[in-house]
Structure 1
């Protein structure tokens, strides 16, 4: 049996990512559905940890905005953090973001497709849990894999449609489902596909303090306490 750790949206929140990796059971590999940076105060440390753990990641919209210095699609406060992140990222880490693919596939007993938003619009489209089956089919058609892993919404999701398992592990660094605990999934792949959803507490005050010390938008620290 293969075990795959599934994460998304660390968003520069090192304390949350460290807590998730410490809580995660032993797995064969870890995959990330994008947005390593943005919002959070420790983008270099998050990227360094992702690299050291050999986590396979795709490009998120904040990663793209930071690397390309194109923040027009972000709100004013998020754009401010993206600009700060670009200025403060080590060159090696900026290059790392630039090399991330918008989408990728891996083979681990089952074929797994990974993107940040949706298969048809990896950087722009959101796939929320309340999506209709009709729209779910439209968003995922043309992706003939057994499993589709997405991020972007910061809300966990597990759905089956036309034989495909659609997953969103929720956000590591900035949950938005009214649960402040960092979120991740573990995929158990044997004769059947089993999904385990996990939440873990972390030192929110530590992240909030760093946000305030760096004079980043206070909102991005406050909201961590409430998961919105």
Structure 2
């Protein structure tokens, strides 16, 4: 059983860069299921195409805070540039794709090969807004994941790859496809192979950043969103 945990990923950050998403789909090995920890839209120039690509691949997604903001048309908690991108997204999203976002749950649990897998965007304690970064203390890991009866916990939100184990639970964040934030501009995803043991592989994929950055500028999104793609921050 191989489970691709390509993100968040959708990424406050997302997979909303179609070129990056297509590069990941092309690079990944054949897998049984693809899951995405939220933020399909909110920063990139082609949100409709991203959602349609996810639907075509039958990707299991949870709702991210940017998806939530687009659905509810609320930007009060975001900075000016982010708010502008979210407003642009809800104005340009097709009705059927907005309805798709509305149907996505904020958390989900699946069973694969006898393993319970819990997925949410932020943390089990706060599904949309709390972040778990690499280097978090064991106490923080316990506090954020206590009460979750699962063998594997998949998170997003930070767009920073993470692999930790606490109290027998494997916690993973596959990083950002379209908006990585770990100073590496390449798209990030992970493949989880389940059997007698859990085997996790982390991959990075280069894509046409120049074209994506130009598309961001062409549609009138903040230029900062284009510039940062080159630096992964």
TM-score under structure 1 length normalisation = 0.98
Deviation string 1:3-32 (CA, Å, 9 cap, x unpaired) is 001022243200000000100000001000
Q: Distance in 2 between matches of 1:38 and 1:153?
A: 14
1:114 is displaced (CA, Å) by 0.4
Partner SS, residue 77 of structure 1: helix
Q: 2:168 maps to what in 1?
A: 163
- Residue 226 of structure 2 is aligned to residue 227 of structure 1: no
- What's the offset of the Cα at 1:135? 0.7
Once the two structures are superposed, residues 72-130 of structure 1 have per-residue CA deviations (whole angstroms, 9 ceiling, x without a partner) of 12111111010110000000000111111000001111110000000110101000002
SS in 2 for 1:45: helix
1-side partners of 2:3 and 2:226: how far apart?
30
C-alpha distance in 1, partners of 2:78/2:117?
Answer: 29
State the superposition RMSD in angstroms. 0.6
* 1:199-227 Cα shifts (integer Å, max 9, x gaps): 00000011101001011000011100011
2:25 alignment partner in structure 1: 21
Tell me the residue number matched to 1:31.
35
**Separation in 2, partners of 1:60, 1:44:** 16
Q: Which residue of 2 aligns with 1:97?
A: 101
Matching of residue 134 in structure 1 with residue 132 in structure 2: no
Q: Distance in 2 between matches of 1:138 and 1:224?
A: 33
Query: Residue in 1 aligned with 2:110?
Result: 106
SS across alignment from 1:7: coil
Structure 2 gaps, min length 5: none
**45, 50, 63: which one aligns with 2:54:** 50
Superposition pairs for residues 1-228 of structure 1, below 5 Å? 2-8=1-7, 9-10=9-10, 11=14, 12-109=16-113, 110-228=115-233
Structure 1 residue ranges (4+ consecutive) displaced by more than 6 angstroms after TM superposition: none
Structure 1 residues not aligned, in runs of 5+: none
